[in-house]
Structure 1
Amino acid sequence: MPRKEKKKRNKEYKRQPTLYKGRLEITRSGMGFVVVEGLEKDVIIRPNDFNKAFHGDLVRVEVTKGDAKSGRMQGVIVQVIERKQKQFVGVVEVNRDFAFFIPDTTKPIPDFFIPANLLHGAKDGQKVIAQIVAWEKNDKRPRGEVVEVVTPEKEADLAMKEILIQQGFPLSFTDEVMEESSRIPDLISKTEIKKRRDMRDTLTFTIDPVDAKDFDDAISYNKLKNGHLEIGVHIADVSFYIDEDSALDVSAYERATSVYLPDRVVPMLPERISNELCSLRPHEDKLTYSCVFQINAKGEIKDCWMGRTVIHSNHRFTYEDVQEIIETGTGLYDKEVLHLNEIARKFRAKRMKEGAINFSS
């Protein structure tokens, strides 16, 4: 290769930007740091280089000074891949044909411009929940929309909602998600039951907190002719009801979990699924995924099977119900509950003997 061409190629190679993906963290002083997995030190981002990124956003950053070897890098954000926080709490200042939304936060977030038709009844000075609907390339501030007006009677409710909003957890499900959940049939077909191990005649019950609405796991008890005890651990087969890459699937993936707050549960899935179709309520046939063990008199596991099942819960226990049976020795299904407790104690003792750590809070 001619020397001139080689020099040109090397020069072009050096121009190739160094890009990383990570989360933007903004300190109280206003400086930003992009935390990149695998790098010992974060990439420093000056406020002028945030480029519409907010605290917690997943971003792509281009290194402008330093390198990974020196460990001291400075960069500029070139892309917001995903916003952590989709909605914001703040106050609206209403003019004649438009309004500004001022976010209630210590982090550097610009005011939102809100057209009059997207105020949805919000009045000047009211506290609201708003979201970004667009942010054009050359605009200094985003265009927003009011999604909820916080009236005085909702002030107490706002504290719980703010926790969810700050963590990027959606307050409600989209119309598409709700429409999908409404289309799921209630009845389980005979064809589907034939595909599964039928355990509806096996004694099965759930154990949950007294205020629980979604019973997503159950235990079954069955004495076999060979003297072994068959114990089944069952969880609701949610995958049967949700198609891959559907709106429900995408929503559940984004939420990742149900959130338990002091006064409420914010479910990962619409209540029709979590509290009805996939709740292992007593005296109803339910589709489950199960792990079924055979255990001998010494407490040794002799066989194990895993697969899709259909069950029929005989009873719904609370923690207090089961604890009372353990302490008094009497109650509904007392022999089965006491036997299961005895086996649990054997397994726990074995775990501790083999070096398990007992965490207590």
Structure 2
Amino acid sequence: MSKKDGKKNQKHPDKLITGVIDVTRSGIGYVIVEGQEKDIFIRPHNFNRALHGDTVKVKISEARGKRIEGRVEEVAERKQTEFIGNIEVNQNFAFFIPDSQKPMPDFYISTKNLNGAKNNDRVVVRLLNWDDDEKKPEGEVVSVIQAKDLNDMAMKEILVENGFPLAFSKEVLNETAQLTDTINEDEISRRLDCRDILTFTIDPIDARDFDDALSIKKLSDELYEIGVHIADVSHFVKPETELDESGFERATSVYLPDRVNPMLPEKISNELCSLRPNEDKCTFSVIFHINKNGIVKDYWLGKTVIHSNHRFTYEEVQQIIDDKNGLHSDEILLLNKLAQQFRSERFKN
């Protein structure tokens, strides 16, 4: 939005403007609009349930001189839905006091949503809802943080403060529990069946999920077929499901020094979509024909079903290359030779 656009918005106060609200320590807010020179001033009573960092839609209520003032009409997207803080438990209800350098309301917690939390516990709370006529949002305890483990607390705070939920909702977990690793014949018939081709994965020694694999097949003395396969997550995560929505909101797995905060439940990433040995798996694949000089002659992309024969580590494969001996050494040495030729050919171009 240009400076000219900002002036247009002042002349058309009914137009909703989208931006990110920045709440100061004193409690007032400013909505920052990309490309607009002036921020929009928001008084606390005009936040309309917006919290610091939320993406909001604002209606301009006043434009005098250098200052533009407005009111939040809608919270378009929460910066975060989980918060860390302390809980105060009474006989019939509880209040959660979030840690924040910015002004924030306490959360109301029903006793049915305490999930084992006790008075003065340090907890992670998920925002459930915030009705128009309520001054406080309602939340549920996701987990109790054990204060003795300072590293665990620090890692969780990093995730929560950056908008990454620590746990999956009950709805997401219930959907995941219904998924099975059985691939029926109808599904197989819709895919290219590569289960009889030598296939293996190569990953770090401590990897828990194996999401890509290689296959190789000799077509002639001059030509080879190589497949690069990646787990077909869409076989399990269907559009407009709780799983799909959760994955969209998380967008990525987060890798910290001592843990992974996954984008999808571990049953999917570590089991259903992990290309483990001796299991049939649904995959997306690029299959190409390459000659002995490393030149690609033909390729195909599409859905496949594979069956991994072995799980290698990087160290094991490097040892086979160095020793020129070991399990599937002929295929690994050939792949290494073709990869070097392919790389050399790419550098020429």
TM-score, normalising length: structure 1: 0.82
The 2-side partners of 1:62 and 1:199 are apart by: 57
1:50 corresponds in structure 2 to: 47
Mapped pair 1:196 → 2:191 = yes
Please say if residues 43 and 63 of structure 1, whose CA atoms lie closer than 8 Å, have aligned partners that are also in contact: no
1:41 corresponds in structure 2 to: 37
Q: Which amino acid aligns with 1:57?
A: D
The 2-side partners of 1:21 and 1:172 are apart by: 29
Shift of 1:88: 0.9
The size of the alignment, in residue pairs, is: 339
Deviates more, 1:105-114 or 1:94-103: 94-103
2:95 corresponds in structure 1 to: 100
Mapped pair 1:20 → 2:20 = no
Please say if residues 124 and 143 of structure 2, whose CA atoms lie closer than 8 Å, have aligned partners that are also in contact: yes
TM-score, normalising length: structure 2: 0.85
The 2-side partners of 1:166 and 1:139 are apart by: 24
Mapped pair 1:299 → 2:265 = no
- What pairs up with 1:171-210 in 2 under 5 angstroms? 171-210=166-205
Shift of 1:217: 0.8
Q: Which amino acid aligns with 2:135?
A: K
- What pairs up with 1:183-332 in 2 under 5 angstroms? 183-225=178-220, 227-332=222-327
Per-residue Cα deviation, 1:28-71 (whole angstroms, up to 9, x for no partner)? 6766443445x25363334524332122212112234569xx99
The 2-side partners of 1:74 and 1:350 are apart by: 61
Q: Identity over aligned residues, as a percent?
A: 53
The 1-side partners of 2:250 and 2:81 are apart by: 12
2:59 corresponds in structure 1 to: 62
Over aligned residues, Cα RMSD in angstroms?
Answer: 2.9
Per-residue Cα deviation, 1:290-321 (whole angstroms, up to 9, x for no partner)? 11011122222110111111111111111222
Q: Which amino acid aligns with 2:274?
A: S
Shift of 1:154: 5.1
Change (3 A) 1:188 1:353: same
Q: Which amino acid aligns with 1:17?
A: D
Shift of 1:204: 0.9
Mapped pair 1:336 → 2:347 = no
Please say if residues 40 and 71 of structure 1, whose CA atoms lie closer than 8 Å, have aligned partners that are also in contact: no
The 1-side partners of 2:87 and 2:244 are apart by: 35
1:357 corresponds in structure 2 to: none
The 2-side partners of 1:342 and 1:281 are apart by: 26
Please say if residues 282 and 314 of structure 1, whose CA atoms lie closer than 8 Å, have aligned partners that are also in contact: yes
Please say if residues 205 and 218 of structure 1, whose CA atoms lie closer than 8 Å, have aligned partners that are also in contact: yes
Please say if residues 214 and 276 of structure 1, whose CA atoms lie closer than 8 Å, have aligned partners that are also in contact: yes
Q: Which amino acid aligns with 1:287?
A: C
Change (3 A) 1:285 1:97: closer
Change (3 A) 1:167 1:293: same
Any gaps of 5 or more consecutive residues in structure 1? 1-12, 355-361
2:5 corresponds in structure 1 to: none
Change (3 A) 1:257 1:282: same
1:10 corresponds in structure 2 to: none
Any gaps of 5 or more consecutive residues in structure 2? 1-9
